[in-house]
Structure 1
Amino acid sequence: MNSLKDRHWPRLPSPLPKDVTDRVLMGYPEHYLEYPLVEQVGLAIRSLLDTPVEQLLTLLQSAGVPLYRRIAAGEVLGLRGDPRIDVFNPQMIDIAAATVQIGLSPERVSQVLDEFDGLGLDRSWIDKETPLHSVHLDSYRIARFAVTNSEYREFLLDSGHPSLPSSWAFGRYPQQRANHPVYSVSDSDADAYAQWLSRRTGRRFALPSEAQWEHAAAGPQRLQFPWGESFIAEYANTIELGYLDSTPVGVFPQGASPFGVLDMAGNVEEYVADDYQAYPGGPQINDDLVQDVGRHRIARGGSFTRFRDLARNPRRHGRYPRPIYVMGFRLVENNNASTCQSCEV
């Protein structure tokens, strides 16, 4: 089912009113609705409860398996114990040193606005991506998956870190979402996790720089989405999918980046290492995020609560203090210590 006509495809007012509710921001009415994908996943979970772990892994990694069944396989795997998740040895993907281009040519801003018309975009949000410019990257390794709830739990237990994810209702660990990405953490929480894991392993973990993140998502071809130039709703957990919840990591194999990194579009937004500042030669944007929040950490990739425009590889976003912005993170491992701003060994 690759047709967007079967998915959530509303039009939002532009400009968006300041007092808009989260439901309106997601393109939904205030009253309750049923979500067909949620029901399909629930039925599939019951049918997979006794399935061997090896078969569950095969199901969730197979693009030919229906999406609802891949999600269900991931949910059952999370309850049984997901062998893909290893807190002290996360799966990492090698990225070779290169001089890469990131950002967006100013001439393409209008094209992007036209392509995503109806999502309430402000021109300044896309201007923030300009200009297209070159950055040299030393070789690095990037995590195949975002950091999960089970990994973050290990960090909290071992470190005594005092800040809990607000998505953990009343501070209770969500066992049923062990292999979902952790979200609703702060940028300083994410940095603390990377520093803790560096100390515990003797390796140099950190959050990726903007350039590292974008290159890992877009590849040498500078794709607009991790999989290509056009948005496909079934390739990422954005609001268009109509699931309204996080999903287990790695259940969208078609959405892999050119390097094989998973979930770089959708599921949860991902903090990077950089606070917002204008790109070299680009305009300093004083948009609503700057006005309302001030200094803020850049986040990338979009989420299950936001539309496809935030899933574009060049898109630069950040956290507003409201529940609709679900912020997580993934790690890089820097081979060159001088490029690791937040590593602590």
Structure 2
Amino acid sequence: MPRALAVIGLSLSAALVSFASPASADDATPGIATEKPAEGPSVKVDEGYMVPYTFRVPGTDEEVEMIPVPGGEFMFGSPEDEADRRDDEGPQIKVSVDPMWVAKTEVTWGLYQEYMDLYGIFKEFESSGIRVVNDDNKVDAITAPTELYDPTFTYEYGEDEDQPAVTMTQYSAQQFTKWLSLVSGQQYRLPTEAEWEYAARGGTTTAYSWGDSADEIDDYAWYFDNADDGQVAVASKKPNPFGLYDVHGNVGEWTVNQYTEDGYVDFADKQGINATDLVKWPEVPSPCVVRGGTWESDAEDLRSAARMASDDEEWKSEDPNFPRSPWWHTSDPSRGVGFRIFRSYKPLPKETITKFWEAQAEDTVLDVESRMDGGRGGMGVIDKELPKAIEAIKK
């Protein structure tokens, strides 16, 4: 198809154990094994062991590898004496983190294209009166990204299946995770800032997941000094201690948080807060938080605590639409921005997971509604029957 924390019970080997292995439980709980695997990472939980698993996205040939990450506590943000620290990285907050699975790599073009293709499919459903979206089922509907205004910009550095997808907005990434969740039956989502940093640190307390010095950066990351041709295929450098690739560099990764210039001042009196609750939900479309640094970033911007603020005015400066696209950015540095999916060990309550899947900023909601009312967007209901419906219209 085209296109330092002590961690109990976790081997830091990056070796994978397929969900299809005999040690796995039933298909309703992917990533849970009844017995501890002989090798590879695992996390002890009530049902047995969280283990790595690979799932194929229903209706596609695309697969996603998920890695178990243990729960624990860590200091969110950077200490005041960390080299190259910025004011927006503190004050440090003691945060508790629940066990979770994290995608081994960022979402690639191969998979993101399947989501992009839904735009044409939804339009065909609409014109044929199939799977009509109404007030009763709209809660399970998503919008699909419109066709790219200028593909030559987005794809200038490639659109290979194994390259991370880029230039999507935070909202579009959220809707992607809703699609993936409802079609698969599992809760996938973007992370909070704290969850992202915990996963990226891999149990370390140093500036980078490999240490405080950038001397080894070429072994782990694509950044300004070694990636002058855009994003590179995922997993082509060393992983962090949890077995996650490209958490430093290649492309930055969306979180659900609104960016705050004063860092975490609002949470300073909430020491011990859970990472899933440490969220400043967006009240405006931008600035929101991107983490990890990009192929255009300097080494210090790849530190585990470094933050990047989105800027719709700059990142959509070439967009001729009004309102500007809720799904795409058109200008640099957005070609260095993608995302990675997370899944909590225990499913989140409906009212909580909905916040992760849907736009929270009123302006974004209004922009989407305007585009849909004008026939310039595609919306469709997502469920486990969607692949069959798509197959039927292709015959």
* Shorter-chain TM-score tier: 0.5 to 0.7
Query: How much has 1:220 moved relative to structure 2?
Result: 2.3
CA separation of 1:267 and 1:175: change in aligned 2, threshold 3 A: closer
- The structure 1 residue matched to 2:72, chosen from 87, 92, 98, is 98
Instruction: Give the corresponding residue for 2:84.
Output: 112
Instruction: Give the corresponding residue for 1:230.
Output: 213
Distance 1:167 1:302 in 2: 24
Instruction: Give the corresponding residue for 1:324.
Output: 333
- The structure 1 residue matched to 2:226, chosen from 232, 241, 244, is 241
1:303 partnered with 2:294: yes
Matched AA of 2:69: I
1:227-262 per-residue CA deviation (whole Å, 9 max, x = no partner) reads 222213422110111433111100002xx1110100
CA separation of 1:85 and 1:220: change in aligned 2, threshold 3 A: same
CA root-mean-square deviation: 2.9
Give identity over the alignment, percent. 25
Distance 2:114 2:161 in 1: 11
Instruction: Give the corresponding residue for 2:191.
Output: 208
Instruction: Give the corresponding residue for 2:133.
Output: none
Instruction: Give the corresponding residue for 2:268.
Output: 281
1:83-103 per-residue CA deviation (whole Å, 9 max, x = no partner) reads x99545410111122222210
Query: How much has 1:174 moved relative to structure 2?
Result: 8.6
Instruction: Give the corresponding residue for 2:254.
Output: 271
2:338 is paired with a residue of what secondary structure? strand
Check whether the contact 1:238–1:266 (CA below 8 A) recurs between aligned residues: yes
Query: How much has 1:173 moved relative to structure 2?
Result: 11
What is the total number of aligned residue pairs between the two structures?
A: 237
Instruction: Give the corresponding residue for 2:367.
Output: none
- The structure 2 residue matched to 1:250, chosen from 197, 211, 235, is 235
TM-score by length of 1: 0.62
1:169 partnered with 2:152: yes
Query: How much has 1:331 moved relative to structure 2?
Result: 0.3
1:193 is paired with a residue of what secondary structure? helix
Matched AA of 2:222: N
Structure 2 residue runs without a partner (length 5+): 1-14, 16-53, 121-143, 270-283, 316-330, 359-382, 384-395
Distance 1:248 1:332 in 2: 20
Q: Which has the higher helix share?
A: 1
- Report the structure number with the largest CA radius of gyration: 2
Distance 2:185 2:178 in 1: 10
Distance 1:244 1:172 in 2: 12
Query: How much has 1:158 moved relative to structure 2?
Result: 3.1
Query: How much has 1:218 moved relative to structure 2?
Result: 0.7
Instruction: Give the corresponding residue for 1:195.
Output: 178
Query: How much has 1:318 moved relative to structure 2?
Result: 2.0
CA separation of 1:172 and 1:267: change in aligned 2, threshold 3 A: closer
CA separation of 1:248 and 1:132: change in aligned 2, threshold 3 A: same
Matched AA of 2:302: A
Query: How much has 1:165 moved relative to structure 2?
Result: 5.7
Structure 1 residue runs without a partner (length 5+): 1-60, 62-83, 114-125, 283-292
Distance 1:246 1:128 in 2: 26
2:289 is paired with a residue of what secondary structure? strand
